Structure 1
Amino acid sequence: MTRKTDGVEFVVKPVASTGGASEFRQSMTPHPLVYQELAHDPHFGIYNGRLRSLSYGNAPMEDLYWRLRRQVMLSHTGELATEIRGPQAEALLERVFTRSIAAVRVGRCSYQIACYDDGGVMMDGVLMRFAPDHFWYVQSDGEFHGWLRAHAGQFDAEVRVTDTWISQVQGPRSMDVLAEVADEGMPERFRYFDMATIQVNGQPLVITRTGFTNELGWEFYLEPGADAEAIGDRILEVGQQYEMGTTPAEVTNARRIEGGLLFAGTDFDATITPFEAGFGRIVDLEKGDFAGREALRTADRRCRTWGLTCPGGTARHGLTVSQAGQPAGRVTSSAWSPTLGTGIAIVRLDDPEAGPGTQLEVLCTDGQTHAAEVCSLPLYDQAGDIPRGRATEPLATTEPVHAAI
């Protein structure tokens, strides 16, 4: 199937052939900078009703991975930004999210999750605070806007999906790119989870010190009316002196698993609580009422979501984990880690008493069952020094930390 964007025709390739007809009946809006990826023979999937490149047909995954780890890479995503504003915008968000909104200062971001009334995790994303009464929530894949609007009826607040597109510049040289690409240089204050507005080629551009790779990096937000090509081409032009190119989800997926960043609808969903997902530190039961609070007050606080290393191969997704021949859990995400030289995965264990150090067996993509070990998340850099700019290389540590922003 072919589509055109800005006059350029390209081929949309689903990753799997099954279900293709029903998939392509959905909205397939491409990122406005998709033309930057076309030379790499991208294979697309659907994320929030938008096209997102999942892999490249002519660019080796491991090569791109090391450029992300050692230099800098540009990734065009399918995240969706919802705007919440009005006199009671903060009160609405306090009702929906599990941690304090009042504590989020203007000009800052906050990782936030929302739950259903029964305590199941509905959505995760990054909340951006522009003003006391003005926010954006940048969500993972899935339906959240309707849930937010349903709650908004009780508050003096407006909720709308913005037509904003998000890209991320990630890697050790990402701040070098930012310093040169911003017309007035690096923002005066731009700490981890800060937000700022810069000018690129004379175009105003919102940026945040966030990302989905656990590398040093920043994200930029192309709003309606912006000259996306002028901004995107300038960023890519500057980045190319540091060997920056574009990268698909396949590459960022390996890094986010290493970094213990969970994927909505895959690593967690409405069937498990934040505690089971390892989000316990971002649930504040004392902040006041919020959706799911009563159910979470009596919920089991034990974590069931951990990392897994498998030197023999890459784990298959699904009910592929066993212990002494008995089913032991589900692999929700997996990849090969070039940094660690081992297969890595995120696993949801059946036994909440099991944890780091537990020895398991897992069926791998080679069709064989290999020995595996449960470990803490993230798999390295457990103090978060890399994305915070305190280090640019992985740190060796055995301290058991289950990280949450």
Structure 2
Amino acid sequence: MTTDLSHFRFVAKALPNQGARPRELARTMPAHPLSYMELPYDPEYTLYNLRLTPEKLDTATDDEMYWAVRTNVIFRHTGELPIEISGSDSEALLNKVFTRSVSKVKPGRCSYQFACYHDGGMITDGVLLRLSQDRFWMAQADGDLFSWYKAHAEGLDVKIHDPNVWVSQIQGPRSLDLLAAVLDGPMPDPFRYFDCAEVSIAGQTCWISRSGFTNELGWEVYMLPDTDIPAIGDKIMEAGAAFGILLTGTPVFRARRIEAGLLNAGSDFGAETTPFEAGLGGFVEFDDRDFVGRKALEAADKSCRTWGMRVTGGVAQLGRVMTIDGEEVGRVCSSGYSPYQGCGVCIVRMDVPAQGSGTKVEVLCADGSTQSGELCTLPMYDADRLIPRGKLVDVPTNPIAAE
């Protein structure tokens, strides 16, 4: 067996301030306009959508970040890239590009979407916001959809551009209480799971959505150019102080999104993976649209090969490190440690569909040891995703806070 290096990331460290203005990074690099908040915490950045996103902060340990999002509230500046698609044919273009109908999405609503190549392989995914009848933002994960839109827009009345919008996530069981505290006016009504709305925070217009990458209660804020973005961020942090808000980096998402079965583009699926293999077949709609990749997906094997896995006594290495009776049987796509479950957690893709939930394997771990792993369904708990919908209050005991 060999260690897979395909998903290793390079990181860049912010230079010591040395008297420079604290917001200099945001002015000189493709960094989030609120990155000045991160600079005091020895940040390490990686590129995501050609934007710098904090891979590491010393505000807390990985476990403390995990418990913060499960029991309280966190603030995370992300690298999601909203691309705007507008014009009278915008819906027609998106119905051609995405595997799931956009016509069903009403203004003020969001929709999980992904695009495929002609052979059925996946490009990337994200959250589509329908701002009005003929105006959309697709807040995408890492990857290139801009060129894909342009390639399929010939002859259509549509404008495709980067609106220079930046996204932050506020997640955790107290996140909606914090939202009510920072809004200049009342809460949007309704503001259901996957709703979006234009609001004002600190006198600045912005958009918010009931979504996030944790499967906890949460919302995202979309900050517009030509507004005072630091005023929005500072207001959230100031009001959040009363809630014990924690500024976080990537580790806050890692184990929690794995437990939730939220896949990461580029590691959990890619150009060689069909939506069915990734367990996302439910988001492929064979309706009356002729979307890109439809013929290939109609002919494709509909079996799922993507599962969760719990590892006793270690955190799995990435790559083809799973064996049964000494034979490699699949790939560990993502891995981390769940303080809540007390074990390593993974998203894996098996070589054959028959090896599903309940399959037991041997796994090479990051410390060099070999441990036992068992495949499971995703999500690993909250199977009906009631927590992010606000229909289940499930705040576990945080042993760190009790110490």
Deviation at 1:185, TM superposition (A): 2.6
Look up the equivalent residue of 1:240 and give its one-letter code: A
Q: Distance in 2 between matches of 1:323 and 1:113?
A: 33
* Larger RCO of the pair (alpha carbons < 8 Å, separation 6+): 2
Q: Distance in 2 between matches of 1:315 and 1:93?
A: 38
Q: Distance in 2 between matches of 1:112 and 1:194?
A: 15
Per mean C-alpha deviation after superposition, the further-off stretch among 27-36 and 353-362 is: 27-36
Deviation at 1:10, TM superposition (A): 7.6
1:25-174, aligned counterparts within 5 Å? 28-57=29-58, 59-174=60-175
Look up the equivalent residue of 1:8 and give its one-letter code: P
RMSD of equivalent CA atoms = 1.8
Look up the equivalent residue of 1:310 and give its one-letter code: V
State the Cα deviation string for residues 212-252 of structure 1 (Å, max 9, x = none): 01110000011111101110000111111111021101121
1:235-250, aligned counterparts within 5 Å? 235-250=236-251
TM-score, reference length from structure 1: 0.91
Look up the equivalent residue of 1:226 and give its one-letter code: T
Q: Distance in 2 between matches of 1:291 and 1:265?
A: 20
Tell me which residue corresponds to 1:311: 312
Look up the equivalent residue of 2:151 and give its one-letter code: A
2:302 is paired with a residue whose SS is coil
C-alpha contact 1:381 1:394 (8 A) present in aligned 2: no
C-alpha contact 2:23 2:35 (8 A) present in aligned 1: no
Q: Distance in 2 between matches of 1:28 and 1:358?
A: 46
C-alpha contact 1:40 1:59 (8 A) present in aligned 2: no
Deviation at 1:55, TM superposition (A): 1.4
Tell me which residue corresponds to 2:271: 270
C-alpha contact 2:66 2:251 (8 A) present in aligned 1: no
Tell me which residue corresponds to 2:22: 8
State the Cα deviation string for residues 170-222 of structure 1 (Å, max 9, x = none): 00000000011001132121000000111111111100000001110000011
C-alpha contact 2:183 2:201 (8 A) present in aligned 1: yes
State the Cα deviation string for residues 116-150 of structure 1 (Å, max 9, x = none): 00000111011111111111101000111011111
Q: Distance in 2 between matches of 1:160 and 1:89?
A: 12
Tell me which residue corresponds to 1:321: 322
State the Cα deviation string for residues 334-354 of structure 1 (Å, max 9, x = none): 000011111000001001111
Q: How many residues align?
A: 381
Identity %: 48
C-alpha contact 1:67 1:243 (8 A) present in aligned 2: no
Q: Distance in 2 between matches of 1:226 and 1:378?
A: 38
Tell me which residue corresponds to 2:4: none
C-alpha contact 1:323 1:361 (8 A) present in aligned 2: yes
1:101 is paired with a residue whose SS is coil
State the Cα deviation string for residues 40-60 of structure 1 (Å, max 9, x = none): 211111101111101124621
TM-score, reference length from structure 2: 0.91
Look up the equivalent residue of 1:123 and give its one-letter code: T
Q: Distance in 2 between matches of 1:366 and 1:176?
A: 41
Q: Distance in 2 between matches of 1:33 and 1:287?
A: 44
C-alpha contact 1:380 1:394 (8 A) present in aligned 2: no
Look up the equivalent residue of 2:366 and give its one-letter code: T
State the Cα deviation string for residues 69-109 of structure 1 (Å, max 9, x = none): 11100000000000001111100000000011110011100
Tell me which residue corresponds to 1:176: 177
C-alpha contact 1:76 1:167 (8 A) present in aligned 2: yes
Tell me which residue corresponds to 1:24: none
C-alpha contact 2:84 2:161 (8 A) present in aligned 1: yes
Q: Distance in 1 between matches of 2:125 and 2:25?
A: 31
C-alpha contact 2:22 2:39 (8 A) present in aligned 1: no
Q: Distance in 2 between matches of 1:394 and 1:313?
A: 25
